[in-house]
Amino acid sequence: MVTTTSSWKTTKSEEIFTAAQKLMPGGVSSPVRAFKSVGGQPIVFDQVKGAYIWDVDGNQYIDYVGTWGPAICGHAHPEVIVALHDALGKGTSFGAPSALENVLAQKVIDAVPSIEMVRFVNSGTEACMGVLRLMRAFTGRDKIIKFEGCYHGHADMFLVKAGSGVATLGLPDSPGVPKSTTRDTLTAPYNDIEAVKALFKDNPDTIAGVILEPVVGNSGFIPPDTGFLEGLREITKEYGALLMFDEVMTGFRIAYGGAQEKFGVTPDLTTLGKVIGGGLPVGAYGGREDIMSMVAPAGPMYQAGTLSGNPLAMTAGIETLKLLEKPGTYEQLDKITKKLTDGLLQVAKETGQTVSTGQISAMFGMFFTGETVHNYEDAKKSDLTKFQSFHRGMLERGIYLAPSQFEAGFTSLAHTEEDIDRTLAAAKEVMSSL
Ligand code: KE4
- Per-residue burial over 180-219, b if 16 or more Cβ lie within 10 Å, else e, is ebbbbbbbbbbbbbebbbebbeebeebbbbbbbbbbbbbb
CA 432 to ligand 1 center in whole angstroms: 33
Question: Going from the N-terminus, what domains does the chain have, and what CATH number goes with each?
Answer: 11-64+328-433 (3.90.1150.10), 79-324 (3.40.640.10)
Ligand 1 pocket check for 29: Cβ under 6 Å: no
Ligand 1 pocket check for 246: Cβ under 6 Å: yes
> Sign of the CA dihedral 56, 60, 61, 67?
positive
Rounded (10°) CA dihedral 325, 327, 330, 331: 180
62/398 Cα distance (integer angstroms): 6
| Tens-binned pLDDT, residue by residue, of the chain (434 aa) | 444 556 789 999 999 999 999 999 999 999 899 998 888 899 999 999 999 999 999 999 999 999 999 999 999 999 999 999 999 999 999 999 999 999 999 999 999 999 999 999 999 999 999 999 999 999 999 999 999 999 999 898 998 853 222 223 345 678 888 888 889 999 999 999 999 999 999 998 999 999 999 999 999 999 999 999 999 999 999 999 999 999 999 999 999 999 999 999 999 999 999 999 999 999 999 999 999 999 999 999 999 999 999 999 999 999 999 999 999 999 999 999 999 999 999 999 999 999 999 999 999 999 999 999 999 999 999 999 999 999 999 999 999 999 999 999 999 999 999 999 999 999 999 999 99
Find, among 42, 33, 32, the residue nearest to 12 by Cα.
42
pLDDT of residue 178: 86
CA 29 to ligand 1 center in whole angstroms: 13
299 CB neighbour count, 10 Å cutoff:
14
Ligand 1 pocket check for 147: Cβ under 6 Å: no
pTM of the model: 0.96
Q: Which of 72, 123, 131, 151 to mutate to test the pocket of ligand 1 (most atoms within 8 A of CB)?
A: 151
Residues designated catalytic: 151, 246, 274
Ligand 1 pocket check for 233: Cβ under 6 Å: no
Cβ contacts of 89 within 8 Å, gap of 6 or more: none
193 membership: H or E segment, kind and range:
helix 193-202
Find, among 58, 76, 60, 38, the residue nearest to 412 by Cα.
76
Ligand 1 pocket check for 123: Cβ under 6 Å: yes
Q: Which of 24, 28, 68, 150 to mutate to test the pocket of ligand 1 (most atoms within 8 A of CB)?
A: 68
Residue 387, burial from CB neighbour count under 10 angstroms (0-12, 13-18, 19+):
buried
pLDDT of residue 4: 53
pLDDT of residue 2: 47
Partners of 351 in the beta sheet? none
Separation of CA 370 from chain center: 25
CA 84 to ligand 1 center in whole angstroms: 24
Ligand 1 pocket check for 124: Cβ under 6 Å: yes
